[in-house]
Amino acid sequence: MTREERSAGGWLAAGLAVAFAVDSCFPLGVASGMLYVPLQLLCQPAHRRRWLLPVAAVSTVLIVLDLAIGIGGASSPRWVYLTNRAGSTIVLWTIALLLRRSFRAEAEHDRALERAAALAERRVLAGMLPICAACKRIQRSDDDAWQPLEAYIQAHSEASFSHGLCPSCLEALYAELPRVP
């Protein structure tokens, strides 16, 4: 973990403590759980993304802890207090999962851009090439010079060559050599 990530974790932990203290001291109904949402939104920069789900989990624990301890002293009926806390938790996790989904979509988009850039860099031969029927040299269009086929293809694509002789050329050129089965 980098120093920047540890620092972000420390600030998020302090934020969780402040949100819990405010949540415990003031019974805000359904808004109590929303004190934790800005902490999730702070997890958007790349060096803080690893903290998104832990912040959501700790926030949920703190919401339930306040519910169990009853620090805030809800003035409404218990079922309203429970419903508010459940709604807060659902909203909290919905935001966390939507943020995580957007992080993944952003990463996929970045990978797609990298693939598109890599494909754009690939050089491909296309079209008609003027080639000599006898020596197989190719005419370059810019200065009417002729160059060997291998040199032209290597200059205009990512292909490279290794030379050898096919069996029929080998027999035609070196008929006197014994054949190897």
pLDDT of residue 121: 66
Q: Are residues 80 and 168 in the same domain?
A: no
Q: Are residues 93 and 148 in the same domain?
A: no
Q: Are residues 135 and 148 in the same domain?
A: yes
Q: Which of 121, 143, 170 is the last residue of a domain?
A: 121
Q: Are residues 67 and 89 in the same domain?
A: yes
Per-residue pLDDT tens, the chain, 181 aa: give them. 788 888 888 888 888 888 888 877 776 666 677 788 888 888 878 777 888 888 899 988 988 888 777 655 556 677 777 888 888 889 889 999 999 999 999 999 999 999 888 777 666 666 777 888 888 888 876 677 888 888 888 877 777 888 888 888 888 888 887 776 6
Q: Are residues 100 and 53 in the same domain?
A: yes
The total of structural domains in the chain comes to: 2
pLDDT of residue 173: 85
pLDDT of residue 105: 93
Q: Which of 121, 137, 170 is the last residue of a domain?
A: 121
> What secondary structure does DSSP assign to the chain, as a single string?
--HHHHHHHHHHHHHHHHHHHHHHHS--GGGGGGGGHHHHHTT-SGGGGGGHHHHHHHHHHHHHHHHHHTTT--SS-HHHHHHHHHHHHHHHHHHHHHHHHHHHHHHHHHHHHHHHHHHHH-----S---B-TTT--EE-TTT--EE-HHHHHHHHSS--------HHHHHHH-TTSPP--
pLDDT of residue 97: 92
pLDDT of residue 108: 94
Q: Are residues 134 and 149 in the same domain?
A: yes
Residue 173: give the domain boundaries. Answer: 125-181
Q: What is the pLDDT of residues 37-86, one digit of tens each?
A: 888 888 878 777 888 888 899 988 988 888 777 655 556 677 777 888 88
Q: Are residues 172 and 137 in the same domain?
A: yes
Tokens representing 22?
A: 């405010």
> pTM higher than 0.95, yes or no?
no
pLDDT of residue 109: 95
pLDDT of residue 162: 83
Strand partners, 139: 146
Q: Which of 102, 121, 140 is the last residue of a domain?
A: 121
